[in-house]
Amino acid sequence: MKTEDLKNNKEYKYGFTTDVENIRSPKGLSEETIRFISNIKKEPKWMLDWRLKAYNRLKVLKEPDWQKPKYPKIDYQDLYYYSAPKSASDKPKSLDEIDPKILETYKKLGIPLVEQKRLNGIAVDAVFDSVSVATTFKDELTKKGIIFCSISEAIQKHPDLVKKYLGSVIPISDHYFATLNSAVFTDGSFVYIPPNTKCPMELSTYFRINASETGQFERTLIIADKGSYVSYLEGCTAPMRDENQLHAANVELVALDDAEIKYSTVQNWYPGDEKGVGGIYNFVTKRGACRGKNSKISWTQVETGSAITWKYPSCILQGDNSVGEFYSIAITNNFQKADTGTKMIHLGKNTKSKIISKGISAGNADNMYRGLVEIKNKAINSRNYTQCDSLLMGNKCGAHTTPYIKNNNATSTIEHEATTTKINEEQLYYCNQRGLDQEEAVSLIVNGFCKEVLQQLPMEFAVEAQKLVAISLEGSVG
């Protein structure tokens, strides 16, 4: 590959904006903004009250500052909290009614909705900026009693489920960004799998951040009722912007008796340019409750984008014999910063958790694994296994590991291992000798390093993720 080609390739592949007129809420964070959002979404009073309660709580909370990556102060009064494509205001009934420009956008991203429907058998609930614009496969899912819709629709049509579970895993009074989300969330996905039902397809949402100066605040709620199973995919790409944009989503998962939720994320938002200008702040709260016995929640994430990634998808293992898993790849290059990991809280008996984290750092980037494993006194016969591996490329970047381990039980075991190494030069040499160029060799070796996590992803995602790993590290070696 020629140097020039390389350079072009390195630039953000998805850097474009779609010219769509926006409806915006008043600028800034206020009760008025919240009422505006609630009103435009025609929400019932209980929902507005819920938001206002969060807003009042927010007023006394402070932004946390313990994280490793520091960021310039965010002016919350300088952001728009709601922006929806105009053409989506009257909800389209089918794909044909969707603004062709939006569909074009997805095509560029490699997610042609129409084709997806036919080829992949994946139901897609696409979020364009803040409003869910299209949902496919509804009929097939409806037959099984599965509800897969936007959270706005769920608030209208399934208020009992929403009331019962919203905020039951991430309470209104949680930390700053989660509470901010509770006050101003605009849209997101809602999934309910009825008892003893295996969701017949992978459910998927692609997120995009589009309009500038828009903080994006999704809210996702997934409930797997007794004996059910669902696999949910979340993928993100964002167009290039100079200003930093805040993304503070909340994702809540609830697994009842014998239920299983598998949640996979590929996050590829705009990381800023090579000098560290621009990029998304990805401050997300993801938490799952294994509420029933024998339930299982498995998080898999591939984090290659954003200027700052700051999140800890967690599992609260309440039910006896429940299982929590966390598989993560976090790649940081140039001036990217990641502070990510998980929390596994063991409350029930015979609960098990597993954490596999792979951090890769190149350029001037900083990559931190931070995690908590806590086995409470009543969680007898519980187990945790944690493995955190870091790979460093060059000596301008950093790799850090900060696990918190608390074991309060004589029958439970916690095992933690971590290593930090550089890319093996012998392996590189071997690959070079077999004709691979530096970039290819690095990609091959890094993909090998990440294998345990990549193989957790559903097939469709795994291929995309592998490509991302390679793209993210281009130009970082040699």
Instruction: Name the residues that contact other proteins, by CB under 8 A.
Output: 66, 377, 380, 390, 392-422
Two tokens, residue 407: 């074991």
Q: How far is the CB of 462 from other proteins (least distance, A)?
A: 28
Judged by CB, which is closer to other proteins: 7, or 406? 406
Pairing relationship of beta strands 323-332 and 296-303 according to DSSP bridges: parallel
What is the closest distance, in whole angstroms, from the C-beta atom of residue 393 to other proteins in the complex? 6
User: 478: how many CB neighbours lie within 10 A of its CB?
Assistant: 10
User: Which residue's structure tokens are 């008025």?
Assistant: 32
Q: Pick the closer one to other proteins by CB: 347 or 393.
A: 393
Closer to other proteins at the Cβ: 16 or 404? 404
What's the closest the beta carbon of residue 295 comes to other proteins, in angstroms? 19
Least separation, in Å, of the C-beta of 373 and other proteins? Answer: 10
Structure tokens at 231: 């696999």
Nearer to other proteins, 53 or 400 (CB): 400
Q: In angstroms, rounded to a whole number, what is the distance separating the alpha carbons of residues 126 and 111?
A: 10
CB closer to other proteins out of 85 and 363: 363
User: Closest separation between CB of residue 369 and other proteins, Å?
Assistant: 9
Nearer to other proteins, 117 or 400 (CB): 400
Neighbours of 195 (CB within 10 A): 14
Cβ–Cβ < 8 Å for 326, 357 = yes
> Please, are residues 285 and 175 in contact by the beta-carbon 8 Å criterion?
yes
Q: Which is nearer to other proteins, 240 or 418 (CB)?
A: 418
In the complex, minimum distance from the CB of residue 374 to other proteins, in angstroms, rounded to a whole number: 9
Q: Least Å distance between CB 66 and other proteins?
A: 7
For 118, 269, 333, 440, the CA distances from 398, given in Å and listed in that order, are: 45, 21, 11, 23
Tell me the closest approach of the beta carbon of residue 362 to other proteins, in angstroms. 10
CB of 259 to other proteins, least distance (A): 21
Buried b (16+ CB within 10 A) or exposed e, 294-305: bbbbbbbbbbbb
Closest CA to 170 of 122, 220, 207, 121: 220
Query: Contact at 8 Å (CB) between 357 and 420?
Result: no
User: Are the C-beta atoms of residues 28 and 213 closer than 8 Å to each other?
Assistant: no
Calculate the alpha carbon distances from 14 to 60, 209, 330, 443, 478 in Å.
39, 11, 19, 20, 26
Q: How far apart are CA 445 and CA 438, in angstroms?
A: 11
96 vs 417, beta carbon nearer other proteins: 417
Closer to other proteins by Cβ: residue 85 or 371: 371
